[in-house]
């Protein structure tokens, strides 16, 4: 019984971010205006793909799986060690399910830089769901970004 408890305590934990907390973190990591995508674009994608939840995992019609807050796919970008993958982000898919989204952000930047990367995916998501939200002019987003956040306090 003790061994099981110790193992459970050592497992990395997932996290559901709040919008303002995630906005600040993404801005701090340089995603605002990264390769032409605004912070609002990234937030919209994270919301509609995972509801800001790092533990999000979904299976596609082609049997591939998407992982984490940005729903990064295992066919090209990460490895789950069960399915063939190019693993272009050089990351384990399970690492994309933890509360530390540093590897998710690094991979998302790599995807955006890739010639067939995120353009098609982002354009579909943005046109389908995000344009009507007009987050670029959102007073809540402006307030979140203009507040002198200290992530240790969040």
pLDDT confidence bin for 102, thresholds 50/70/90 = very high
pLDDT given at position 81: 82
The packing angle between helices 139-146 and 19-28, to 10°, is 50
Give the span between the Cα atoms of 129 and 61, in whole angstroms. 21
Per-residue confidence (pLDDT) for residue 18, from 0 to 100: 87
Q: What is the structure's pLDDT at 14?
A: 72
Q: What is the pLDDT of residues 103-127, one digit of tens each?
A: 999 999 999 998 877 665 666 555 5
Say if domain 15-153 classifies as CATH 1.10.530.10: yes
Across 6-10, 76-80, 96-100, 112-116, least confident range: 6-10
Strands (E), the chain: 57-59, 65-67, 72-73
């Amino acid at each position: 019984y003790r061994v099981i408890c110790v193992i459970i305590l050592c497992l990395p934990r997932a996290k559901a971010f709040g919008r303002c907390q995630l906005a600040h973190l993404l801005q701090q990591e340089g995603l605002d205006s990264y390769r032409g995508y605004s912070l609002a674009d990234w937030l919209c994608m994270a919301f509609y793909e995972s509801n800001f939840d790092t533990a999000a995992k979904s299976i596609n019609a082609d049997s591939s799986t998407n992982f984490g807050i940005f729903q990064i796919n295992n066919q090209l970008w990460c490895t789950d060690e069960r399915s063939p993958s190019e693993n272009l982000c050089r990351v384990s898919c399970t690492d994309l399910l933890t509360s530390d989204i540093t590897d998710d952000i690094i991979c998302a930047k790599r995807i955006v830089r890739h010639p067939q990367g995120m353009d098609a995916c982002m354009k579909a998501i943005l046109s389908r769901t995000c344009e009507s939200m007009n987050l670029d002019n959102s007073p809540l987003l402006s307030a979140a970004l203009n507040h002198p956040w200290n992530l240790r306090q969040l």
